[in-house]
Amino acid sequence: SKFSRFFFGSFALQAKSAGLLTLRQIESIRKTLKKHLKKRGRLWISIFPNVAKTKKPEKTRMGKGKGRLHLWCHKITPGQILFEIGGVSYKTAKNAFQKSDYKIPFLTRTT
């Protein structure tokens, strides 16, 4: 599919299973990658949080419409490219992706 190819960088972080990434998780991963890369390489984010999740307050009775906006997230499909890195060696890219892998709630691989 069009989401399983990378266009900008030389190395990419690819999802191996389905899941959700919230806006906070995406930002946390971005900060970790930027911190590890310093000013050596370039980072591209291939995902955007475009799904709004709502939540009703606790102890609220049924009815009265939909709840308030709770968070923004992105639905991840298997094989989808999440982040791309260019301008660095494979070893540096792999180390950066391994550091950020702890913040991702599903399986990923470096391509």
pLDDT, tens digit (0-9, with 9 covering 90-100), for 24-59: 999 999 999 999 998 888 999 999 999 999 998 888
pTM equals: 0.84
CB neighbour class for 56 (10 Å; exposed up to 12, middle 13-18, buried from 19) = middle
Q: What is the DSSP letter of 56?
A: P
For the chain, the first-to-last Cα distance in angstroms comes to: 16
DSSP string, 72-87: EEEEE-TT-EEEEEES
Given a contact cutoff of 8 angstroms between Cβ atoms, the answer to whether 12 and 89 are in contact is no
Q: Are 71 and 41 in contact (CB under 8 A)?
A: no
Q: What are phi and psi of 86, to 5 degrees?
A: -135, 160
For 76-108, the pLDDT digits (tens) are 999 999 999 999 999 999 999 999 999 999 999
Per-residue model confidence (pLDDT) at position 43:
92
Q: Give pLDDT, residue 48.
A: 92
